[in-house]
Structure 1
Amino acid sequence: MLLKVIYFIQILIPFVLTINITDIVNYSVRQYNELSKSIIIGKEYPTEGIPLSYKWNCTEPVKNQWTSGFYPGVLWHLYKYTNDNKWRQLAIKATDSLSENQMRTDNIDIGFIIMCSYGKGYEFTKNSSYPQVIVNAANSLAKRFNYNIGCTQSWDNTPNEFVVIADNMMDLEVLFEGWRISKNKTLLDMAVSHTIQTIKYHLREDYSHYQAVAFSDTNATIIRKFTAQGYADWSCWAQSQAWLVTGFTIAYRYSKLDYILNAAEGVSNYFIDNSPPDGIPYWDFDVPHDSNHTYIPRDSSAASIAASGLIELYGYTNNTKYLNAFNKIINSLYSDNYRADAVFQVAIL
């Protein structure tokens, strides 16, 4: 299971209203105590669990990856909830090894990497050296911004195309936070522009979305819209719909623009209204339920990601639809249907 599931479920713990918080913290600590024994902290970053095993696929801290920030993010949250210095020291070690990423301009996901590690570390400890790392990372991401298109570039491997994917709404937090720290308004303007362009070009009338939009890198016209990781180009991949739920909500947190809040509500309503009764979506909202698709996986990652956005969105809107959906997701994820310890794994989900 991708580590982002674990990271986002940690964010949710303070808001759980119908589950014993102590039980969740104890469960998380137990699982991560086992995981910390099996990897080299600061050199190995878990990305995917191997089913029915305590083993993990891992990545290096800096090398063609986008998930390395999630593990230190989990460690920071464990420190926050337990106040146990053990988790703080592990988090510092895992975070410090990611330092080189702050200067990378070849990876759109520098936002994920830095905000989950240095961002959470600064939030929970106010370490005075971390803000500059965040600003440096924001300036690095800013170099991927195209003023004609109004977005940062997601993928570099499509000749003559400037591809922007919906997932990268999540990476904008480093631009917003970089602006907040440095007061460099250019970073804010870039983040808002990217958000507005995503709303304009990725969303459909029903607030589902195309995962990717390819612009011409010469005249900024749209070449094609497609869904790279979902069922079909016209379908709605659950995970990137969840990225939009949380990404637009984060963008509203900083911008306070009603246009962005309306988009956050629109994509959230689509996510809720098109999920099964337990709140955990199928991996793509448009996969046919027929004899050719006898097994359709649920996406606990998408549910966790969306839940973190829904509870924040509830705080801005007081719309109990979002609170109820959040509670439903968390109760489902904590059940034996989705918890990893029900099938002998070291993950959370």
Structure 2
Amino acid sequence: MKKLFKNLCIAGSLLLSACQQDHMVGQKDDLITKLDHALERGEVQYHHMKNLLPETRFPKTYHASEDRLETSGSGWWCSGFYPGSLLYLYDQNGDEALLSEAERIMEVLEKEKYNTTTHDLGFMMFCSFGNALEIAPKEAYRDILVQSAQSLSTRFDETTGVIKSWDSKEGDYLVIIDNMMNLELLFWATQETGDSTYYNIAITHADNTIKNHFREDYSSYHVVNYNPKTGTVNQKRTAQGYSDDSAWARGQAWGLYGYIVMYRFTNDQKYLDQAVNIAEFVLNHPNMPDDKIPYWDFDAPNIPDALRDSSAGAILASALLELSQYVGQEKSDRYISDAESMLASLASSEYLAEPNTNGGFLLKHGVGHIPENTEVDTPLTYGDYYFIEAIKRYKALK
């Protein structure tokens, strides 16, 4: 009788395990369906957006109260995200009209390859021409990207050991955590040309950012002000977060993504360790909501009523999916699970725009710059870009 009972227990346990696995598979199938729906919505939205855009302008955000699409010129740091999103959508859905629009607007963007006044040429040129080189290559794209890397390199200074972010008054040398996202262009340039100068600049910048931007808990400051004559740090502060000592959500996402890219190109364990430590800070933060879409700042004073930032959630989801491929199974499963939660939230009606609304943007509820009261609870072009990228990465994994 005991043996029969034991066998029944084993059989029941196996059945329960099988049911649980079936349930998990079902949940993942449901998420894939939602994400496919989000991509279809993206196709509708970006057709709507291209019809709203003036010929030489780029989407920046949308003001619902005025039903107004705000645009920028090609020199704005976000100009690469529109063609990048179009290319990602084309890659997933095969819509030739979106590819044609991406190629059209990249002709407007191309001149920025000579722009030496910005640190954001990675965002501007690699999210556009870099993706185009992979998805719908043309011979000219290589030279455009090499020139862009040369222009970006002019902002590196040997004394400070970092790439300058914002030009400012004499005596300041301002560097923001966002700058980590522009190093991928430099790594690509070394791979393409064999010139190690670009690689060495990226390494030096990343190492000094680890040294000077991060706190003991692996949260980061937004802005570090270096002394341009000595390379020492004059000040650590924030511009877009709640306070100098707070953890601005999108800043944490930029740092995480940036050090994952560093590991991808170098296989240096210290960069993987840095990325894992940032991920653990973010995911284990007591103010991380259950749906994994972070408040605009982890230390915002009015949590749980503080605004969420869908763009930070999108960047984190994409970053975690890549990070899951570089770590052991336990961490990998957890990072994928958290990314799934983020994607499921972003693909819900709370964040996904209705067709032909929202100025053509896919996501709602991004937060740009609360301290200056700009782009507050609005769509953001980079939110769309990293959401579509995260979907692309998730579908490739599954």
Normalised by the size of structure 2, how large is the TM-score? 0.79
The match for 2:21 is: none
Matches within 5 A, 1:180-259: 180-259=191-270
- Equivalents in 1 of 2:29, 2:54: separation in Å? 32
Moved over 6 A (4+): none
2:354 is matched with which residue?
341
Between stretches 339-348 and 321-330, larger displacement belongs to 339-348
Aligned with residue 140 of structure 1, among 151, 157, 160? 151
Instruction: Report deviation, 1:218.
Output: 0.8
Which of residues 277, 289, 304 in structure 2 aligns to 1:276?
289
**2:306 equivalent among 289, 296, 308:** 296
Structure number with bigger Rg:
2
1:48 aligns with 2:40: no
Match of 1:10 in 2: none
Give CA-to-partner distance per residue, 1:289-324, whole Å, 9 cap, x none: 37xxx8411000111111111101111114222111
**In 2, Cα distance between equivalents of 1:308 and 1:257:** 21
- Distance change (3 Å), C-alpha of 1:173 and 1:343: same
In 2, Cα distance between equivalents of 1:135 and 1:16: 41
Q: 1:247 to 1:163 in 2, by over 3 A?
A: same
Residues 111, 171 of structure 1: 8 Å contact kept: yes
- 2:134 and 2:264 mapped to 1: Cα distance? 16
Counterpart code for 2:68: K
Residues 198 and 241 from structure 1, CA distance in 2 versus in 1: closer, same or farther, beyond 3 angstroms? same
Match of 2:322 in 1: 312
The answer on whether the counterparts of 1:170 and 1:246 sit within 8 Å (CA) in structure 2 is yes
Change (3 A) 1:54 1:251: farther
**CA offsets 1:18-50 (integer angstroms, 9 cap, x no match):** 231431221111111211111134x01000111
CA contact (8 A) 1:48 1:56 kept: yes
Q: Which amino acid aligns with 2:46?
A: Y
1:106 matched to 2:117: yes
**Alignment size in residue pairs:** 329
Shift of 1:126: 2.4
Partner of 2:17: none
Establish whether residue 79 from structure 1 lines up as the match of residue 90 from structure 2: yes
Structure 1 regions of 5+ residues with no counterpart?
1-14
Alpha-carbon offset, residue 288 of structure 1:
2.2
Higher helix share: 2
- Contact 1:105–1:144 (Cα < 8 Å) also in 2: yes
**Hey, what's the Cα distance between the residues in 1 that align with 2:200 and 2:30?**
37
User: What 5-or-longer segments of structure 2 have no aligned partner?
Assistant: 1-27, 364-398
One-letter amino acid of the counterpart of residue 309, structure 2:
D
Aligned to 1:9: none
